[in-house]
Homo-oligomer: A and B are copies of this chain.
C-alpha cells in the first residue's frame, strides 16, 4: 500500500521549516507550482543536479539513511563550492519503494536537512513518487556567485600550480573495505559517510583559483577535465598528494566520492582555509596530457580512469 503522500508532504514541510533560516532568498517554497527565489543582486545563478540511486551510488545495507541523505546533498553543494558560490536552495525529487519503512525516510531527511541547515540552504521543493525499483533521489542545488567571478574548469594556464583541499582517497579506500566485508560506518570513516562540502573554502578561492573542480570521480578524472577544458597538461608529484589513512595511490587517483576541491592558481595560496589544509600537488604544463612524478624524479603517464563507484555515473 502506498504511503499517504499528503502526510509525507506535510512532514517535509514541517521538517524543512524547522531547519530553514534563509528566508530572504526563498519567497515561496513548497506548495505552489514553482518555488520563487530572489537571488542576491549582481549575482549569477549556479545550478547543479545529481542522482543518488540505490544500487548505483549507495546500498541500504552499507549506508545508514542519514549518510545517504547527507551525501545526496553533499554531491550538489560540492559542485556549488567548486564554482566559488554560495548555496541558496535545494530541491529534492524522491521516489520510494512502497515497502520502505517510514523510519528510513525520516532518517534520510534528517541527514539531508541537518547539512542544509549547516549551510543556510532551504529545501524549497521537489517531487515525490512511488519507486518501481529502489530508492531514487535527485538533488538539485541552486547557488549564486557575483557576476563573472566563478572559477570555471577552463581557466588553467601553463605555470599555474595545482592544489587540493583536505585529504584524498578516503572514498576509494572505504568502498574497497565495504566490498571486502568490513564493518565501517560514520563513526570510523566520517570523511566518507558524512563528507563536508568545501563551500567556505570555495568562496575564499574566488579571485585566487584560475580553474576549479570538485574531486568526485577521482583525481585523475577530475584533473583531466581541467586539462581538457583549459587546453593544457599537468604534472602531479605523487609524494605531495595528501592521502587519507588506509588510502592507496590508486584510491586517490581513481577512486571517487572525496568531495574535496582541486584548483590551479598563479597566485599566493594560503596553507589552510577555514580549518581545511590546502596542499600544492603539481603544476600546469603546456603540453597536453597528464604525468605523475615520484620522489626520485621518475615520470610516468597518468590516464584518467576515475573509478565509477558501484556502477556507471557520469555528470553531463
Which one of A46-54, A61-69, A164-172, A232-240 is at the B interface? Answer: A46-54
Q: Which residues of B contact A316 (CB under 8 A)?
A: 8-9, 12-13, 30-31, 125-128
Whether B143 contacts A34 by the Cβ 8 Å rule is yes
Q: Is the CB of A48 within 8 A of B33?
A: yes
Number of this chain's copies in the assembly equals 2
B48 and A34 contact, CB distance less than 8 A: yes
Which interface residue of A53, A143, A213, A316 has the most chain B CB atoms within 10 A? A316
Which residues on B sit within 8 Å (CB–CB) of A44?
A: 27, 36-38
A74 to chain B, nearest CB (A): 13
The verdict on A153 contacting chain B, using a C-beta distance below 8 Å, is yes
Q: Is A89 an interface residue (CB 8 A)?
A: yes
Interface presence of A142 (CB below 8 A): yes
- Compute how far the CA of A79 lies from the CA of B91 in the bound complex, rounded to whole angstroms: 15
A binding-site residues for B, Cβ under 8 Å: 2, 5-6, 8-9, 12-13, 27-28, 30-39, 44-51, 53-57, 79-80, 82-83, 85, 89, 91, 93, 95, 124-134, 136, 138, 140, 142-143, 145, 147, 150, 152-154, 212-214, 229, 311-316
